[in-house]
Amino acid sequence: MNLFSLEDLEKTELVDILDSALSGDIPKAKSQGCVALLFFENSTRTRLSFERAAQTLARPYMNFDIDSSSLKKGESFEETLEVLEDYDISTAVIRSAQRMFDPDSYVGNLNVISAGEGTFYHPTQAMGDVLALAKSWGMASVSMLKGKTLLIFGDLRHSRVAHSWFEMADLLGINLKLASPQEWMPEWGAELNRSSNLKEGLLGADAVMALRVQTERHSGQGQGIASFEKSFQCTQDILAKRPLLHPGPTNWGVELAPELKKYENSLIRSQRQECYRVRTGLLARF
C-alpha cells in the first residue's frame, strides 16, 4: 500500500482516514514492523510528526542517514529500498527534492508514504489542513466541506502543498481559488479561478491559505519578492475573520504581516496538530 499522491486513495478511504482522525481515534497499528524515515530535505514539522506518530503506535523507527549511506557511492534508490525490505523494514517515509523513482514501476513490498516530493505532492499536509478546517467549523465529517471555497495564495508554482490541495479539492468537492503574481502561477489547475490580485481572490473565499515564498528557488529575483510583499502580503483587515492557514515555515513580513502571529482565527498550530494525527492514522494502516 502506497501513498505518493492523494489519487492513490479512493474517496471513501480518504474520508474514512480523515474522519477517524477528526473523531480523535488513535487506531492500533496493523503492523509493528519498523518504519524508516528517509529525508533528503531538511524538515522540522513533517519529520518530527512522523517520529512521534511511530512512537505513539509503539512502532520501531529509524532515521536513515543519507550522507553515510551507499547512495553516496552510486547505489540506486531502488536497491536501497530492497536493502530496507531485506532488513524487515515494512514502511518507508520519503521526503525528497525531486522524484527518486517511478512509483508506477515500483514492485517491492514496502509500504511507501510520501512526506513531500519536489514540487509535486505533499498528501499528508493537505490531509492535516482539511482536518484543521473541518474542526474549526465544528464539522462531524470532512465530507461536509463540500461547497466551501478555499483561496490559496503565494508561491504556487513551487508548492507541492498547493498541488496536493488541487487533488484534495477535486476529491472532496471543495472550490479552490488561486492568487499569485502571474509568473508564480502553476502549470496545473488552468481551469480554476485564478487572480493576480489578492483582494480580488478573496472575494467569495470561506478560508485562506498562505504559502511560503520559497526564496531558495528565486535566485536573482529579489525585486519580484519585494513586489510580492507589497502587493500580496496578507493583513488582518483583508482577512475579515476568515480562517487562516499556512503549512509553514512562515516568512513573517513576506506572505503574512507580523500582526497575524496573534490572529484569533489562525489555524497554523491546529494544522501541525492535525497533521500529526493524520500521520499517526496512516502509520497505523501502512
Task: Give the number of other Cβ atoms within 10 Å of residue 230's Cβ.
Answer: 7
Element (H, E) at 124: helix 123-136
Q: What is the mean pLDDT of residues 134-155?
A: 97
Q: What is the phi-psi region of residue 225: left when phi exceeds 0, alpha when psi lies from -120 to 50, beta otherwise?
A: alpha
CA 81/CA 88 separation, integer angstroms: 11
CA 124 – CA 145 distance, rounded (Å): 18
Q: Any idea what the Cα angle at residue 78 is, between residues 52 and 108, rounded to 5°?
A: 75
pLDDT band at 30 (very low <50, low <70, confident <90, very high): confident
Name the strand (E) or helix (H) holding 49: helix 45-56
Q: Furthest-apart CA pair in the chain: how many Å?
A: 56
pLDDT band at 25 (very low <50, low <70, confident <90, very high): confident
Reduced to 3 states (helix: H, G, I; strand: E, B; else coil), residue 252 is strand
Cα(133)–Cα(59) distance, rounded to whole angstroms?
Answer: 29
C-alpha cell at 119: 514540487
Percent of the chain with pLDDT over 90: 84
Strand residue runs (E) in the chain: 2-3, 34-39, 61-63, 89-96, 111-117, 149-153, 175-179, 193-195, 207-210, 244-245
Q: Which pLDDT belongs to residue 140? A: 97
Question: Could you report the per-residue pLDDT of 89-117, keeping only the tens digit for each?
Answer: 999 999 999 888 888 888 889 999 999 99
Evaluate whether 141 touches 19 at the Cβ level (below 8 Å): yes
pLDDT confidence of 203, banded at 50, 70, 90? very high
* Cα-based distances in Å from 39 to 73, 201, 283: 18, 35, 17
pLDDT digits (tens, 9 = 90+) for 146-159: 999 999 999 999 99
- What is the pTM assigned to this prediction? 0.95
Report, as an integer, the average pLDDT of 214-226. Answer: 61
Please name which of 148, 138, 144 lies closest in space to residue 177, comparing C-alpha atoms. Answer: 148
Confidence class for position 29, pLDDT limits 50, 70, 90: confident
Reported as a pLDDT band with limits 50, 70 and 90, residue 217 is low
For the chain, the first-to-last Cα distance in angstroms comes to: 7
Per-residue pLDDT tens for 247-265?
Answer: 999 999 999 999 999 999 9
User: Which pLDDT value is given to residue 105?
Assistant: 80
In b/e form, how buried is each residue of 65-84, taking b as 16+ CB within 10 angstroms? eeeeeebeeeeeeeebbeeb
pLDDT higher than threshold 70 for residue 207: yes
26's grid cell: 488513535
Domains along the chain with CATH numbers: 2-121+273-285 (3.40.50.1370), 124-268 (3.40.50.1370)
